[in-house]
């Protein structure tokens, strides 16, 4: 099994963070808040599609609401595979960060 | 909805929606709108709109890319499935691919042929502006349609109609001998042209004088291939070529230019071009009768030819009418009032090849001179062959549906939509047809040579380099794939999974009626083609075996003899002329009356060329008769079976009963009937004592016009006008009929035997050909002796001869070719239909293995099992035959109507057809049935 891409990882983490409220607009807002970078809709949904095909997330439809032009939300949640993938990448990162802590990098910029 | 005012920009929303084109589109749009609304509610409406557009511009490329990606993934997935299916059913795949590749190959040939035919004369820079002037005439003495029109018409037209920007004319003569040094070629065609022809037909000059390719009458332009033939690698420019033709004499011409060969898809083909000399103005000048020229005019771009055509009737009244009136002996007004006509019309250059009304000759069913009927015919049959192959695909696919039903069911259960299933089956049929197209491509490349030889064309096929060819092939393959695949796709995908898996579906019944219909259709087409083949073949053998009335087996036709004699004579004659101070060109520029006056003035010392040649020919004839192997030798104005036809003139003659009849006149000598072994029915032969037009023998068909009384002793009166002084006056003769000769066939079988009168030659008149009847036994010695005698008269020239019966057989070329075409197509149809039947039968036998096993265990005989499996096909065969017979009968009856002498379509045609198709069914179905019926029930029932 290959590693998640960075985008995939960020999206999975957002879904995990948002829990029951993980739908497209919320994920975008969340990522924009956290990263300070304005994500486009396409940049959210295309990796989401790919994650769905890989079986890391599953989705279900919510209720239509008026301020969405009468359209419903599609909520995403992590599958066990998705969670496993997140844990796996976290472990690798932890292991890498442990040997050389953040302190030494601070002076770079 | 309360928040109408907050609607996001519509166009942007629409674009996003289109780009998504996905099941989640709704939610995505909702997400964007939610954020948009939030920004909007913060009171930054303009900002919100900008933000929305920004999202669209950034996201759309991503979404589009993703959809392409997923579509590709799906196709690859489908292809994998399809290849797996095709591989696991190898037998069916092979049946389909063989059938479809043959079908696509045939269609490709048909399309190449059509493209070639329609490409004629399209590529000249003035193609759409050039028109050929043609004429249709209906006069008491002659009727016809021809492109050879009056020589001066071109000039007269451009004088009268200023809208004509250019005129060019040419005549052709195929009796030239071309000579350079040691190299000599006879029977070559020389075009005498107006210099403007180089411009009209974009004739490219490769070397030599490109400004003025034909600067004078002493120059000649030759084609590159002629240059190769005559000069090899030497530079032809400035070299001398001697051309000789019987009536124009001999000329030494200087090669002024070499021109590129005309493209093969032009009706205008040449090897030798000389400048046309001014013609003496005689009666051929405006009517073109007794030899006209081809005339082309150029109109301004985008101007319509109809405007000019409307003015042509009054032009005819002004220039042609008076001339016609003179030769017909009544005024033009009278002639028109009695329903006679003369029409000039304009034929677009691009129509010349396909509109063959104005070409006299048949060049074979699918020969050089094109015809729209042939194209349609070829295309329809090729399409039928292709459809037969598609039918196989449909039949095999639907028949196999029961075995694929589990596949479909499971696919549906795991969530395939119907659309996806249809898509998958279409991919399957398209893959099969693309594979077939690739094989067809190879077939076309391999058989292109045979195809070109057969049609006499030079069609090229270049699937790699020629974009049109590859595109055409792919389009054909995709069309076939979609057409053949769509029924099975819809048919198979329509099953409901519950039915499929519970087994409650009567799979065997579904699609059966369509399949039966298609099998009947295949039989119908095959039977039709077989009927056509048999009828064409019957007609061919009928024509070959028909009693022609004469015996041509040991009759030798000495070709071109009078022409060569005349040519030899002309040197002597020219010597005499130059003694008198005239050159040949001087002579040629005189009209006939002036020539006659000169001959008169010479005091008879300069004899007429005709007369001298005629006299020497008679001496030649006497010497031929001295050869022991020759039974008789005859001169006549025409020879049966030769391309130049029969009648030299069609005259309207008045019989003693007073009625006018159209009749052909032919000059013969007293040996003619004996040479052809034609018995006289009554009366006597013409003999030496009879003067020309002084006594006539008529044929039986002409005798019938006289009713029950014997025509012997009746008189024939001439109404032919001849030139006397300045005017045409009826010559008039009134001579008795002395004998009636048995009818004989002189043209192909499309033309009925015409009433004909035979007159003795004028003293020393010029025959067209010489017929020699050989005694049996010593043929080769006799021919050698004839050649020796020939060389005494014409030294150093080879004698061309042929046998009359072989000449005649050549007239059936068109029908021979047609019988081959039909034979070939019906063979293909049969092969493809058999493949389909074989597949169906094999499948049915396989599907009913258990049933047969049980039947056999219960005591069914081999015979009854065979019956069980094949009865259905025999019924279909019967229906197919029953439907095709009347259609075939009607179509072929219509074809036979073209022939004056024709075979009847008898019952045997249909019996043969039935027998052939029955044999095919037995071969393709019977084998499978037999195998199934002989199988050991233990084997078929063991598993389960």
Condensed to tens digits (0 to 9), the pLDDT of residues B527-548 reads 998 998 899 889 988 888 888 8
In this complex, do A24 and B31 lie within 8 Å of one another by their Cβ atoms?
Answer: yes
Has residue A78 been placed in a domain?
yes
Residue A93 DSSP SS3: helix
Q: Quote the CA–CA distance of B24 and B578 in Å, as a whole number.
A: 103
Has residue A73 been placed in a domain?
yes
Residue B506 has pLDDT above 60, yes or no: no
In this complex, do B66 and A23 lie within 8 Å of one another by their Cβ atoms?
Answer: no
Residue A24 with chain B: CB contacts under 8 Å = 27-28, 30-31
In this complex, do B37 and A67 lie within 8 Å of one another by their Cβ atoms?
Answer: yes
Q: Quote the CA–CA distance of A12 and A27 in Å, as a whole number.
A: 10
Has residue A103 been placed in a domain?
no
Nearest chain A residue to B62 by CA: give it: A42
* Confidence category of residue B51, pLDDT binned at 50, 70, 90: confident
* Confidence category of residue B652, pLDDT binned at 50, 70, 90: very low
Q: Taking residues B115-138, what's their average pLDDT?
A: 89
In this complex, do A67 and B34 lie within 8 Å of one another by their Cβ atoms?
Answer: yes
Residue ranges in B283-340 assigned as alpha helix (H)? 284-287, 305-315, 321-328, 332-337
Has residue A107 been placed in a domain?
no
Q: Which residues pair with B192 in a beta bridge?
A: B171, B274
- Which has the higher per-residue pLDDT, B669 or B277? B669
Residue B6 with chain A: CB contacts under 8 Å = 67
* Confidence category of residue B603, pLDDT binned at 50, 70, 90: low
CA distance A21 to chain B (A): 13
Number of H helices, E strands in chain B: 31, 25
Is A68 in the B-facing interface, judged by CB distances under 8 Å?
A: yes
ipTM associated with this complex: 0.80
Residue B524's pLDDT is 92
Residue B198's pLDDT is 92
* Confidence category of residue A6, pLDDT binned at 50, 70, 90: confident
Task: Tell me the pTM.
Answer: 0.73
* Confidence category of residue B651, pLDDT binned at 50, 70, 90: very low
Positive or negative torsion for Cα B923, B929, B934, B938: positive
The CA dihedral of B188, B189, B195, B199, to the nearest 10 degrees, is -110
Nearest chain B residue to A63 by CA: give it: B27
Residue B263 has pLDDT above 90, yes or no: no
Q: Quote the CA–CA distance of B923 and B912 in Å, as a whole number.
A: 16
Residue B570 has pLDDT above 70, yes or no: no
Which pair of tokens denotes residue A53? Answer: 């095909």
Name the residue facing B33 among A45, A46, A68 (closest C-beta): A68
* Confidence category of residue B762, pLDDT binned at 50, 70, 90: confident
Nearest chain A residue to B40 by CA: give it: A67
Q: Taking residues B186-211, what's their average pLDDT?
A: 88
Q: Considering chain B, what is the average pLDDT of its residues?
A: 80
Q: Which of B586-600, B773-787, B792-806 has the lowest mean pLDDT?
A: B586-600
Report how far apart the first and last C-alpha atoms of chain A are (Å, whole number). 35
Residue B365's pLDDT is 34
Q: Which of A22-36, B172-186, B401-415, B855-869 has the lowest mean pLDDT?
A: B401-415
In this complex, do B58 and A40 lie within 8 Å of one another by their Cβ atoms?
Answer: yes
Q: Taking residues B686-694, what's their average pLDDT?
A: 77
Residue B60 with chain A: CB contacts under 8 Å = 42
* Confidence category of residue B829, pLDDT binned at 50, 70, 90: confident
Which pair of tokens denotes residue B479? Answer: 């069309």
Is A73 in the B-facing interface, judged by CB distances under 8 Å?
A: yes
Residue B806's pLDDT is 82
Has residue A51 been placed in a domain?
yes
Residue A46 with chain B: CB contacts under 8 Å = 62-63, 66
Domain total in chain A: 1
CA B915 remoteness from chain centre: 32
Has residue A25 been placed in a domain?
yes
- DSSP secondary structure, B500-533, as one string: HHHT-S-TTTTTHHHHHHHHHHHHHHHHHHHHHH
Residue B2's pLDDT is 44
Q: Quote the CA–CA distance of B845 and B827 in Å, as a whole number.
A: 26
Q: Quote the CA–CA distance of A31 and B31 in Å, as a whole number.
A: 14
Name the residue facing B58 among A42, A64, A72 (closest C-beta): A42
Has residue A1 been placed in a domain?
no
- Which has the higher per-residue pLDDT, B390 or B713? B390
- Which has the higher per-residue pLDDT, B915 or A71? B915
Is A41 in the B-facing interface, judged by CB distances under 8 Å?
A: yes
Residue ranges in B641-740 assigned as alpha helix (H)? 672-675, 700-704
Condensed to tens digits (0 to 9), the pLDDT of residues B308-350 reads 999 999 999 988 888 888 777 778 888 888 888 899 999 999 8
Residue B916 has pLDDT above 70, yes or no: yes
% pLDDT > 90, chain A: 9
Is A75 in the B-facing interface, judged by CB distances under 8 Å?
A: no
Has residue A12 been placed in a domain?
yes
Q: Which of B148-152, B171-175, B239-243, B302-306 has the lowest mean pLDDT?
A: B171-175
Burial class for B667, CB neighbours closer than 10 Å (0-12, 13-18, 19+): buried
Residue ranges making up the domain that contains A86: 6-96
Provide the number of CB pairs (under 8 Å) joining chain A to chain B. Answer: 83
Q: Quote the CA–CA distance of B203 and B197 in Å, as a whole number.
A: 8
Stated as kind and residue range, the H or E segment containing A11 is: helix A6-18
Q: Taking residues B63-85, what's their average pLDDT?
A: 83
Largest CA distance in chain B: 128
Nearest to B149 by CA among B306, B305, B319, B307: B319
Q: Considering chain A, what is the average pLDDT of its residues?
A: 83
Residue A99's pLDDT is 74
- Which has the higher per-residue pLDDT, A62 or B438? B438
Which pair of tokens denotes residue B343? Answer: 């029409």
Positive or negative torsion for Cα B818, B547, B752, B802: positive
Q: Quote the CA–CA distance of A55 and A45 in Å, as a whole number.
A: 15
Nearest to B222 by CA among B237, B234, B233: B237
* Confidence category of residue B893, pLDDT binned at 50, 70, 90: very high
Kindly give the pairing relationship between strand B734-741 and strand B696-699. parallel
Residue B367's pLDDT is 39
Q: Quote the CA–CA distance of B845 and B801 in Å, as a whole number.
A: 64
Q: Quote the CA–CA distance of B96 and B836 in Å, as a whole number.
A: 8
What is the CATH classification number for the domain harbouring A92? Answer: 1.10.10.10
In this complex, do B1 and A70 lie within 8 Å of one another by their Cβ atoms?
Answer: yes
CA dist B46 → B40, B52, B260, B472, B818 (Å): 8, 10, 72, 53, 78
Could you tell me the residue ranges of all domains in chain B? 4-71, 130-352, 372-543+813-941, 555-775
* Confidence category of residue B723, pLDDT binned at 50, 70, 90: very low
Which pair of tokens denotes residue B936? Answer: 């050991």
Residue B696 DSSP SS3: strand
Nearest chain B residue to A29 by CA: give it: B35
Kindly give the pairing relationship between strand B293-298 and strand B166-180. antiparallel
Residue B504's pLDDT is 52
Residue B606's pLDDT is 47
Condensed to tens digits (0 to 9), the pLDDT of residues A85-100 reads 899 888 988 888 887 7
For B602, other C-beta atoms within 10 Å of its C-beta total 14
Nearest to B636 by CA among B681, B670, B678: B670
Is A21 in the B-facing interface, judged by CB distances under 8 Å?
A: no
Give every CB contact of residue B926 below 8 A, 6+ residues apart in sequence.
B866, B870
> Cβ(B651)–Cβ(B720) under 8 Å?
yes
């Amino acid at each position: 099994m290959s590693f998640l891409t960075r985008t995939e990882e960020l999206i999975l983490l957002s879904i995990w963070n948002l829990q029951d409220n993980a739908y497209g607009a919320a994920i975008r807002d969340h990522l924009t808040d956290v990263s300070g970078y304005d994500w486009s809709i396409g940049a959210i949904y295309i990796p989401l599609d790919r994650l769905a095909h890989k079986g890391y997330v599953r989705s279900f439809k919510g209720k239509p609401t008026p301020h969405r032009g009468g359209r419903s939300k599609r909520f995403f949640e992590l599958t066990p595979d998705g969670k496993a993938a997140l844990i796996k990448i976290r472990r690798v990162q932890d292991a890498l960060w442990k040997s050389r802590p953040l302190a030494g990098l601070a002076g770079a910029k | 909805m309360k928040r109408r005012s907050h609607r996001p920009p519509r166009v942007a929303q629409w674009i996003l929606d289109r780009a998504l084109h996905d099941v989640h589109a709704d939610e995505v749009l909702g997400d964007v709108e939610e954020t948009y609304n939030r920004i909007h509610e913060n009171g930054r409406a303009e900002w919100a709109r900008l933000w929305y557009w920004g999202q669209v511009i950034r996201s759309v490329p991503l979404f589009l890319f993703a959809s392409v990606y997923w579509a590709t993934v799906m196709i690859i997935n489908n292809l994998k499935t399809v290849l797996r299916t095709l591989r696991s059913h190898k037998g069916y795949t092979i049946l389909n691919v063989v059938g479809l590749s043959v079908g696509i190959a045939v269609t490709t040939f048909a399309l190449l042929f059509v493209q070639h035919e329609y490409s004629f004369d399209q590529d000249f820079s003035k193609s759409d502006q050039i028109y050929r002037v043609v004429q249709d005439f209906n006069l008491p003495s002659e009727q016809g349609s021809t492109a050879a029109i009056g020589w001066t018409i071109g000039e007269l037209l451009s004088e009268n109609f200023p809208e004509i920007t250019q005129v060019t004319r040419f005549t052709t003569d195929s009796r030239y001998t071309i000579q350079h040094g040691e190299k000599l070629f006879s029977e070559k065609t020389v075009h005498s042209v107006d210099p403007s022809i180089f411009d009209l037909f974009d004739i490219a000059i490769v070397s030599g004088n490109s400004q003025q390719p034909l600067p004078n009458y002493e120059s000649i332009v030759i084609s590159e291939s002629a240059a190769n033939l005559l000069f090899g690698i030497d530079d032809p420019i400035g070299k001398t070529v001697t051309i000789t033709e019987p009536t124009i004499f001999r000329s030494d011409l200087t090669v002024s230019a070499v021109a590129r060969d005309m493209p093969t898809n032009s009706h205008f083909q040449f090897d030798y071009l000389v400048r046309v000399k001014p013609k003496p103005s005689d009666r051929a000048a405006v009517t073109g009768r007794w030899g006209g020229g081809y005339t082309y005019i150029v109109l301004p771009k985008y101007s319509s030819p109809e405007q000019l055509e409307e003015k042509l009737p009054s032009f005819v009244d002004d220039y042609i009418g008076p001339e016609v009136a003179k030769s017909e002996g009544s005024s033009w007004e009278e002639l028109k009032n009695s329903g006679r006509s003369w029409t000039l019309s304009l034929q677009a250059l691009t129509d010349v090849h396909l509109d063959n009304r104005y070409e006299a000759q048949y060049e074979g069913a699918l020969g050089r001179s094109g015809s729209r009927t042939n194209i349609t015919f070829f295309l329809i049959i090729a399409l039928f062959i292709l459809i037969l192959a598609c039918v196989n695909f449909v039949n095999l696919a639907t028949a196999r549906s029961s075995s694929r039903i589990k596949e479909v069911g499971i696919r549906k259960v795991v969530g395939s939509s119907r659309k996806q299933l249809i898509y998958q089956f279409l991919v399957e049929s398209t893959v099969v047809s693309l594979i077939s197209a690739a094989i067809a491509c190879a077939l076309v490349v391999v058989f292109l040579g045979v195809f070109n030889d057969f049609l006499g064309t030079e069609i090229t096929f270049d699937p790699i380099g020629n974009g049109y060819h590859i595109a055409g092939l792919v389009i054909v393959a995709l069309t076939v794939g979609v057409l053949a695949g769509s029924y099975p796709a819809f048919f198979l995908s329509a099953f409901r999974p519950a039915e499929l898996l519970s087994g409650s579906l009567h799979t065997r019944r579904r699609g059966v009626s369509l399949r039966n219909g298609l099998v009947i259709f295949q039989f119908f087409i095959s039977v039709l083609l077989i009927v056509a083949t048999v009828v064409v073949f019957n007609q061919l053998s009928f024509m070959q075996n028909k009693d022609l009335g004469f015996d041509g087996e040991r009759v030798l036709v000495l070709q071109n003899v009078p022409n060569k004699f005349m040519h030899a004579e002309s040197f002597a004659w020219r010597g005499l002329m130059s003694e008198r101070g005239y050159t040949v060109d001087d002579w040629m520029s005189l009209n006939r009356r002036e020539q006659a006056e000169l001959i008169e003035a010479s005091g008879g010392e300069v004899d007429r060329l005709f007369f001298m040649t005629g006299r020497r020919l008679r001496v030649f004839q006497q010497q031929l008769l001295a050869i022991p192997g020759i039974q008789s030798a005859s001169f006549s104005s025409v020879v049966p079976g030769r391309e130049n036809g029969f009648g030299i003139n069609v005259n309207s003659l008045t019989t003693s009963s007073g009625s006018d009849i159209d009749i052909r006149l032919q000059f013969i000598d007293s040996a003619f009937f004996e040479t052809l072994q034609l018995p006289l029915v009554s009366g006597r032969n013409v003999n030496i004592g009879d003067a020309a037009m002084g006594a006539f023998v008529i044929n039986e068909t002409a005798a019938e016009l006289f009713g029950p009384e014997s025509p012997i002793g009746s008189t024939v009166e001439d109404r032919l006008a001849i030139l006397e002084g300045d005017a045409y006056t009826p010559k008039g003769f009134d001579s008795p009929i002395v004998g009636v000769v048995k009818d004989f066939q002189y043209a192909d079988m499309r033309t009925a035997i015409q009433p004909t009168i035979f007159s003795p030659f004028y003293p020393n008149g010029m025959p067209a050909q010489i017929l020699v009847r050989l005694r049996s036994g010593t043929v080769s010695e006799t021919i050698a002796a004839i050649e020796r005698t020939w060389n005494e008269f014409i030294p150093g020239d080879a004698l061309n001869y042929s046998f009359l019966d072989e000449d005649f057989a050549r007239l059936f070329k068109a029908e021979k070719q047609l019988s081959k075409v039909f034979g070939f197509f019906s063979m293909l149809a049969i092969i493809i239909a058999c493949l389909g039947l074989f597949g169906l039968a094999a499948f049915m036998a396989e599907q009913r293995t258990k049933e047969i096993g049980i039947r056999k265990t219960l005591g069914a005989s081999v015979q009854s099992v065979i019956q069980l499996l094949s009865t259905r096909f025999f019924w279909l065969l019967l229906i197919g035959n029953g439907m095709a017979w009347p259609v075939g009968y009607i179509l072929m009856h219509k074809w036979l109507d073209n022939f004056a002498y024709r075979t009847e379509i008898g019952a045997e045609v249909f019996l043969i057809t039935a027998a052939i198709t029955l044999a095919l069914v037995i071969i393709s179905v019977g084998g499978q049935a037999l195998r199934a019926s002989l199988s050991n029930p233990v084997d078929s029932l063991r598993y389960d």
